[in-house]
């Protein structure tokens, strides 16, 4: 694996929340940056007004983007997620989606926002992935 995940003693266990505290990447590693993916179909339209369905589709789209570089969710080092009108119930859906990233959870920042690029978008995720 081209990166190392560390959850230092002295910080809470972040795994139940779907992320890790730190990640390091070797200098000889190629980074793949994936722009914000949202719950869209191939036509760019939002597939559902349901938050959970949007999260699931956004992660499917992220997987497609990574696959174009020969990578998968296990290569993700960092996620930045944007949530419209965030509440704690929504965080569970994000954590479940992130758990599909493999044995070591990536670092993640969840950002509450008033709105995203189109009015129907409720969730967006961008990623940094690492390849040796």
Please tell me the least confidently modeled range out of 60-64, 99-103, 104-108, 116-120: 99-103
Q: What is the pLDDT of residue 7?
A: 93
Q: Which numeric CATH code is attached to 3-131?
A: 3.30.1330.40
Q: What is the pLDDT of residue 1?
A: 64
Q: How many helices (H) and strands (E) does the chain have?
A: 2, 6
Average pLDDT over residues 30-58: 96
For residue range 15-26, what is the model confidence (pLDDT) as tens digits?
888 889 999 998
0.75 cut: is pTM over it?
yes
Give whole-number Cα distances, 68 to 61, 62, 64, 65, 128, in Å. Answer: 11, 10, 6, 5, 14
> Where does the pLDDT of residue 125 fall: very low under 50, low under 70, confident under 90, or very high at 90 and above?
very high
- Whole-angstrom distance, CA of residue 83 vs CA of residue 91: 9
> Is the pLDDT score of 93 beyond 90?
no
């Amino acid at each position: 694996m081209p990166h190392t995940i560390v959850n230092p003693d002295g910080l809470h266990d972040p795994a139940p929340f779907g992320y890790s505290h730190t990640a390091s990447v070797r200098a000889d590693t190629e980074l793949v940056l994936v722009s914000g993916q949202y719950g869209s179909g191939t036509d760019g339209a939002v597939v559902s007004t349901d938050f959970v369905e949007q999260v699931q589709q956004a992660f499917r789209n992220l997987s497609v983007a990574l696959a174009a570089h020969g990578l998968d969710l296990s290569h993700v080092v960092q996620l930045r997620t944007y949530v419209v009108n965030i509440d704690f119930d929504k965080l569970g859906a994000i954590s479940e989606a992130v758990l599909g990233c493999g044995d070591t959870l990536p670092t993640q920042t969840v950002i509450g926002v008033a709105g995203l690029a189109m009015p129907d978008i409720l969730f967006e995720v961008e990623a940094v992935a690492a390849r040796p």
